[in-house]
Copies of this chain bind each other. A is one copy, B any other.
């Protein structure tokens, strides 16, 4: 199998290096051949090629069976007035590969309950997954910025078609069927027209194709609350792009650290892009402090979804659980007073 490796900026290269180690260990142990091909994305691509998503990178990814990505962005390219920004690379690759469904599972490892700002009793039984629509909505609608007689104004258009909604809801509902059978649609149907479209299309689809599932709708403001108040009640959440961005970062706090959470971005085929949900964390880049587990768990998702290697994926997940159990963790999730390990030490241990 061919795997495109886009390390990106900040801590991206460090955590991706550990993900690659794990891929190589899996290849050796299970007798697979993984061909890894590196390419540029984000700030490092701007520096090297003048654009955040060079055509070679897209071409390489299109030929690959899966993409492993680190993170993009950093203060060096942070000018909001700039025409070329690292994030365009990330948004561009998602869009060009048609990766419309972003899966972000949240589980709380028992050893990490103390790393979460939430009370332990709220975290019992938390096992949810957010399916975020990734190639539509306000992220990709028309953007304008103009100067009028009374000063400047700007706009972003949030737009969704029936087809965009149907395909991602199907992914989420199929997932729910293999889990606890519950789907929650999160929207703002009391205010937004797009949300009302999401609600009517999803309600119809659930009735027609997934009558066996438990289906509920929830307003995004209420969800921001319930995610903290009663997180164990959620199974699969499906939502639009912007709400998914906010809610998944919030949900990451359940797991104690952004450094724990993997993600998979899928399209209609098997190919997918796998990345930790955390960013490039420029403040700790290059110091060996970054938690590689989110990337390593993303590798597990890659093995399962894109390469159909379920046993190998479970093996990686078990190894991650074992190193947490043995306390070989980076500072972000170490218990107070416990020793902390470097990015590479954690990767080696896995």
Residues of A at under 8 Å CB distance from B?
A: 73, 80-81, 85, 87, 91, 117-119, 122, 138-139, 141, 143-145, 148, 150-163, 188-194, 196-197, 199-201, 220-222, 224-225, 227-229, 242-243, 245-250, 252-253, 258
Contacts and interface: CB of A to CB of B under 8 A. Distances in A.
Contacts of A148: 161
Given A154-B160, A159-B155, A160-B154, A228 B191 contact: no
B228 A193 contact: no
B158 A158 contact: yes
A163 B150 contact: yes
A242 B194 CA distance: 14
Contacts of A155: 141, 157-160, 193-194
Per assembly, the copies of the chain total: 2
A344 to B, nearest CB: 26
Given A117-B119, A158-B157, A91 B191 contact: yes
Contact of A163 (B151, B154, B161, B199): B151
A161 B146 CA distance: 10
7 contacts: A91-B191, A155-B157, A155-B194, A156-B158, A221-B246, A225-B249, A246-B246
B163 A197 contact: no
Given A117-B228, A224-B247, A225-B252, 6 more contacts: A117-B119, A117-B122, A153-B159, A155-B158, A221-B249, A222-B249
Contacts of A159: 153-155
A122 B197 CA distance: 39
A228 B119 CA distance: 12
A204 to B, nearest CB: 11
Contact of A197 (B152, B220, B225): B152
A151 B156 contact: no
A17 B220 CA distance: 29
B197 A154 contact: yes
A228 B253 contact: yes
Contacts of A144: 193
